[in-house]
Structure 1
């Protein structure tokens, strides 16, 4: 199976228009355009009955104590965990394209609703947990919300844009399901997968 994420080249920086946070000299970070990129895929195997889209960052600090703190740096050797930025399930087998901006166009404080969206069914991304302590932003973040790694992280983050062809029409997920729930439901049903990986950083020393 082939996947093209238009505007994102393999191994190259993700353009700011797809980011939740962009670099700011005054405040380290300001909100970005936060548009989902266009994704186009083909050559799905025979027997494909639905698709799943997953976007995640495997480089997120497992401990947030030093994240975005003045005078501190997130060390490179800190254990890292997956942070899910986009979960779409039950995408019809006849769909092979998600237009740019279809699922997200701008940062929406308190998030977008999970559940049925423009294409497929939206899961809940990890901004739901990350922003839970911010009274202006706390909420349930469904659908796509783009890169915004810690501005004081000592490593560049990688963003995996994936599409998976499944042998079932539905994963029978509803409510506020998350990344691990999607992976568990997909297990044993994946016929083929494709991935494009971009990078992103808000650390001025790494840009």
Structure 2
């Protein structure tokens, strides 16, 4: 009898509280495929175009009031990874970002959105630039659906502080991972 009650409760939860996974797509990035030259940094010995990828998302969780987007390298030899891009406060009606939205200064972002300093030390997109001779690094591009319209961050916020605030308001997320050792 107890097993039947557990199954009924699980079924009820699935019907009343359906899980809504975000769908994340890009014409520039494919899951498991090497990053293109456009997404490679253009400093520190790397010779790419340093352009943030086009992104689009759908299947938005109910109650989403804003979005955040990040690009993170967990394989960077730092002990804490490397943040390449952090965008917060994307309005709830945003369904994606065109290529090069991460230009310094934020001119290509939707109104109200802002960027947090990346680990290169500037507010903008800093493309992939793994150390010479390293194994491919797995760059994670993630969109987060949040339950607040605006995250308050100081102008000099760190990636860790932004991440903490993102995870305090998380409704759902989706990630594309693209490996590269291109310089």
* Alpha-carbon distance between aligned partners in 2 of 1:30 and 1:87, rounded to the nearest angstrom: 21
Identify the match of residue 159 of structure 1 among 99, 119, 139. Answer: 139
Larger radius of gyration: 2
- In structure 1, stretches of 5+ residues that fail to align are 23-27, 63-79, 105-111, 129-140
Q: TM-score, normalised by structure 1?
A: 0.71
Structure 1 segments, 4+ long, off by >6 Å, are none
Pairwise CA distance, 1:21: 4.3
What is the count of residue pairs matched by the alignment? 160
8 Å Cα contact 1:36/1:103 also seen in 2:
yes
1:1-207 correspondence to structure 2 within 5 Å: 1-21=22-42, 29-62=45-78, 80-104=79-103, 112-113=104-105, 118-119=109-110, 120-128=113-121, 141-153=122-134, 155-202=135-182
State the Cα distance separating 1:150 from its structure 2 match: 0.5
- 8 Å contact from structure 2 (residues 40, 182) kept in 1: no
TM-score by length of structure 2 reads 0.80
Give how far 1:116 is off.
Answer: 7.9
Following superposition, the deviation at residue 118 of structure 1 comes to 2.2
- Offset of residue 31 of structure 1: 2.8
RMSD: 2.0
CA drift of 1:43 comes to 1.0
Stretch deviating more after TM superposition (84-93 or 117-126): 117-126
CA deviation vs aligned residue, 1:84-119 (integer Å, no higher than 9, x gap): 011000100000110012323xxxxxxx34x78623
Greater share of strand residues, 1 or 2? 1
Partner of 1:136: none
Q: Distance in 1 between matches of 2:45 and 2:169?
A: 40
